[in-house]
Amino acid sequence: MENIRTLILCVDRDDDIGFKAGVTSPPVGREECLTTAEKLAIADPEDSDVNAIFQGLKTYDELKGKGEDVYIAVIGGSHTNMLEGDRRISHDLGKIVWDFEINECILVTDGAEDEFILPVIQSTVDVKSVQRVIVKQVPNLEGTYYIIKKLFDDPEIAKTILVPVGLAMLLYAVSILLGYPGIAVVIVVGVLGLYLLFKGYGIDEYFEITLRSLQSSFFGGKFTFVAYIAALFIGIMGIIIGLTTLQEWYSSEQGILFYALLFVYGAIWYFTASALIASIGKIIDIFLNEIKSLGRFIAIPYFVLAIGIIAYGACVYTIAISTDMEFPVLGGNSIKLIIYTTLGGLICAGFGIYLQKYVTKWTKKLSLAKKNPEKSSDKNKAF
């Protein structure tokens, strides 16, 4: 019968053991894990990871007392970057499983936050059990107040709850001060609804990725930082122009789709310019630093321009047939405009696809020439 080796795994996703206690992850073995728990308890007695590690030690002692082949480890992630932290956890766990020939794992966690890493752990080792450690509190008003206070002291919870509520209240106050109490409730509900949609579809994560990209490009001295900042300001200008256009042609007789088209009509070229600047900045950095990836990005500006052209034509055509608005483009002939813009957009996108294939072949030849400079020089001599 095969000897089953079980790993008692405590996951500290935000790396409190490293950030607070100064312990290098991962500590492996009972003595190292006990020392880690003691150091973390001294550094922050209120940290729930302390209880999780002690629970792991208790489970380890129980299984060890039954004669099972059991190991224990505490793996920390990252205090600043969850993505890099999860990768670190996956790497360290894989090394432990390989070194000790682990067959199965018992995960000990202090809450739902660490359980987000469960799929990563399951991809490396078979998880037989998950133990959640919940610290008991005194069931009175003072204890409840203390728990709520500690929750709001947590940066993640504060950012998720306090920021949208505070923003909504601020917008409500500003609307009343400006003399528009009637639309104050609409603005507040709209902002909260938009925030919930962003959280529901995970759009806020893309904003975090964008901010991290801006930070890395700034400290790395890359051209994309300037390009992204310029694109951001042009995009804000587009929003302002779009809202101005919407206000100028506002009519209670039209529906919400018409208002959306008016906003797009006023803002589309600013949004297109913003996306073009951002993508061109990215392409310049790729050309200067990692030219082998140029083929994947070279077509993006052409796609952006194609979408902008087609969207502009579609907005003008729809608005023209819905109202008496006159557009000076092509003498006000909206049918010609939608045909020409559609064809122009398709041609632009097609050229981008062609250029992408050409640049991809060129970068492959260039990378091969760098790997085999002797063969490349022989070919040049033959020519």
- Side by side, which strands form the sheet with 104-109? 69-76, 5-12, 104-109, 126-132
- pLDDT for res 141: 45
Least Cα distance to 60 among 96, 29, 36 occurs for 29
Q: Kindly report the backbone phi and psi dihedral angles of residue 154, in degrees, each rounded to the nearest multiple of 5, phi listed first.
A: -70, 125
Q: Which of 301, 284, 285, 305 is nearest to 356 (CA)?
A: 301
Distance CA 245, CA 267 (A): 8
Q: What is the largest CA-CA distance in the chain?
A: 89
- Which of 144, 192, 149 lies closest to 171, judged by CA? 192
- What is the reported pLDDT for 286? 85
User: Cis before residue 26, ω within 30 degrees of 0?
Assistant: yes
DSSP 43-86: H-TT-HHHHHHHHHHHHHHHHHHTT-EEEEEEEE--SS-HHHHH
pLDDT for position 321: 79
Task: Centre a 10 Å sphere on the Cβ of residue 333 and count the other Cβ atoms it contains.
Answer: 14
- Give the Å distances, CA to CA, from 57 to 94, 96, 111, 329: 21, 17, 17, 75
Instruction: For helices 223-248 and 203-219, give the axis angle rounded to 10 degrees.
Output: 140
What local confidence, expressed as pLDDT, does residue 215 receive? 74
Quote the pLDDT of residue 178.
74
Q: Average pLDDT across each block of 10 residues of the chain; the chain has 383 residues. List them in order.
A: 80 85 88 91 85 90 90 86 83 90 87 68 86 63 56 66 76 76 70 75 70 73 84 90 80 71 88 92 84 83 93 86 67 78 92 89 77 53 40
Cβ within 8 Å of residue 39, ≥6 positions away: 17, 21, 22, 23
* pLDDT, position 142: 44
What integer pLDDT is reported at residue 60 of this predicted model?
92
Residue type, 329: V
